[in-house]
Amino acid sequence: MAFVKNLIVVLVWVFLSYINGSVVATFFRYQVFYEDPRYILFIHMVINDAIQLTITIMLFILSYIFYKINVSFCCFFILVAVFTTRNTPINLASMAIERYISICNPLRYAQICTVRRTYVLIGVIWFICVAPDITDLFVTLVTESLSFFHESVFCLRQNVFKDPILAYKRQAFDTLYFSCVFLTLVYTYLRILFAVRALSTDKVSAQRARNTILLHGAQLAMCMLSYISPSVEIILHLIFPGRVLEIRYANYLIVYILPRFLSPIIYGVRDKKFRKYLQRYFVCNRCSVKSQKVASQNNGDM
């Protein structure tokens, strides 16, 4: 069973890494995306999700192979995983605001949403995600002895950052993040939905916009599960005390992996502009592979 679980996780990582790698390569190959705040935020989210997925899968596999790992390495993995996990819903909320400005205030869009402001916003997103949780490390450095960082533990956040105050701090910030992202989701998407209904004369286009909004909402809802998943996991452990590993595995798939499937679908496949360049990227790759094969065959004949 452990082998099957790890195999599934690794196959998912390989599949998503291939998709994300193709999307990132498409973005950086075509300069048309460099001046569009929407796609800059999108590619930032894809890179962030790729890092988050790689770190969490490494932790998942290491927990089965070694069970316990060094505390110092665990601190690094946990902090990066927490930063990138928090990053995704806030990035999606920022993209929701960008879409809201584009649809509901198009005349001022070019003035408000500039490339420079987009990169400043990305910096603010990282500050918001890093600042509250990096204090966990500082508190642990103060409260724990140096020998603690040379020990080995099962790499969970509560096993490394053990101070009870940190747990209350996490709950407070999780509630704040959850509330802000949820309110942003409701406000912007309702305004966009009403604007699409009022302005669009193309029923197919309106239906497509509504479907996109629903996908965004589903992705944000799944990402926001990361704020409440620790509490839900504790409750499930109490209800099903003999199913700890199964609960943890299901929680990992639903909260940390499933939302990463939607980003390439929403922007990489359904978005007409990006899909056109993504198809062009794959066609160019096939042509280069064929030309390399022909060149190698000709060299072999010579």
Which domains are delineated in the chain?
2-288 (1.20.1070.10)
Q: How large is the average pLDDT for residues 268-296?
A: 67
For the chain, give the mean pLDDT. Answer: 79
Q: Using a pLDDT cut of 70, give the percent of the chain over it.
A: 84
- pLDDT of 208 reads 64
- pLDDT of 286 reads 66
Of 63 and 36, the one with more pLDDT: 36
Q: How large is the average pLDDT for residues 271-294?
A: 69
Q: How large is the average pLDDT for residues 279-296?
A: 62
- pLDDT of 199 reads 64
Q: How large is the average pLDDT for residues 19-36?
A: 86
- pLDDT of 191 reads 81
Which of 3-12, 17-26, 214-223 holds the top average pLDDT?
Answer: 17-26
What are the angstrom distances between the C-alpha of 289 and each of 134, 281, 282, 295? Answer: 45, 12, 11, 10
Judge whether residue 123 has pLDDT over 90. Answer: yes
* Closest by CA position to 43, among listed 9, 114, 91: 91
- pLDDT of 13 reads 85
- pLDDT of 200 reads 56
What's the predicted TM-score (pTM) here? 0.83
**147-163 pLDDT tens trace:** 888 888 888 888 888 87
Using pLDDT thresholds of 50, 70 and 90, give the confidence band for residue 294: very low
- pLDDT of 293 reads 52
**150-198 pLDDT tens trace:** 888 888 888 888 878 887 888 788 778 878 888 887 888 788 777 777 7
- pLDDT of 207 reads 62
Judge whether residue 64 has pLDDT over 50. Answer: yes
Q: How large is the average pLDDT for residues 11-27?
A: 86
Using pLDDT thresholds of 50, 70 and 90, give the confidence band for residue 295: very low
The lowest-confidence range among 36-50, 99-113, 223-237 is 223-237
